Chain A
Amino acid sequence: AQKVTQAQTEISVVEKEDVTLDCVYETRDTTYYLFWYKQPPSGELVFLIRRNSFDEQNEISGRYSWNFQKSTSSFNFTITASQVVDSAVYFCALSEGNTGFQKLVFGTGTRLLVSP
């Protein structure tokens, strides 16, 4: 069965600090996809990134970077020089297969609080 674990319930940092959000997943499939979504207080889930199981290259997008390691079944998310606007709940999610619509399995989320 699929499972996503986000062990960090809540993280508090001061602006400009770097912060890493952990995500560990379990799946029996060889083809799967990993996602990160951001949910600010307004409620909307904002898509940040997806990564397929065959692509272990790390990705950087501005202050955001992602580290995918199949050996440890982890897909961690780092925010560099955090800002107050980064305060949100971040969800890691997993889906299997590569055709048609997908069922997402979400982790429990990590609440990030960035204070000025």
Chain B
Amino acid sequence: DTEVTQTPKHLVMGMTNKKSLKCEQHMGHRAMYWYKQKAKKPPELMFVYSYEKLSINESVPSRFSPECPNSSLLNLHLHALQPEDSALYLCASSQDFTPAGTTDTQYFGPGTRLTVL
């Protein structure tokens, strides 16, 4: 079962609002990712958590705040966003530790379509 779930599916927020995106996986994966995807563009990596620790932050503005409460959950807290932050936010997970000679495939959730007014 390769399922990653994300809530909500759609979110509309004002620039002064605080909201959170949620991601969950039950595949026993130890790496979780947040991507941002603008229309007609490929996904852009934002953050990577490995074993519940932030391992990569791709110079993302502080108005985006990730959190990994446990190995199955990943949140993205949003505050004081700008209209240009409107995008599809994708969560992914992967096994992380793999035997030598194999690789780590990322499985994606359905995404949250965010609109900032």
Contact = CB atoms under 8 A, between A and B. Distances in A.
B113 A98 contact: no
- Interface core residue of A37, A47, A91, A100 (most chain B CB under 10 Å): A100
A45 B103 contact: no
A99 B108 contact: no
Given A43-B88, A45-B43, A106-B42, A100 B50 contact: yes
A105 to B, nearest CB: 9
Which size class do B's interface residues fall under?
20 to 34
A113 to B, nearest CB: 14
Interface string B34-67: 0000001111010010100001100000000000
Given A100-B97, A106-B43, A109-B42, A95 B110 contact: no
B66 to A, nearest CB: 15
Interface string A25-59: 00000000101010000111111001010000000
Interface residues of A, number: 24
With most chain A CB atoms within 10 A of its CB, the pick from B42, B45, B105, B109 is B42
Interface string A93-116: 001001111111011110000000
Contact of A98 (B31, B33, B41, B100): B100
Given A44-B109, A101-B104, A103-B56, A91 B97 contact: no
Interface of A: 33, 35, 37, 42-47, 50, 52, 91, 95, 98-104, 106-109
Given A99-B98, A100-B50, 18 more contacts: A35-B105, A43-B88, A45-B43, A45-B92, A50-B105, A52-B101, A95-B103, A98-B98, A98-B100, A98-B102, A100-B96, A100-B97, A100-B104, A101-B33, A101-B50, A101-B55, A104-B106, A109-B42
Interface of B: 2, 31, 33, 40-43, 45, 48, 50, 55-56, 88, 90, 92, 94, 96-98, 100-111, 113
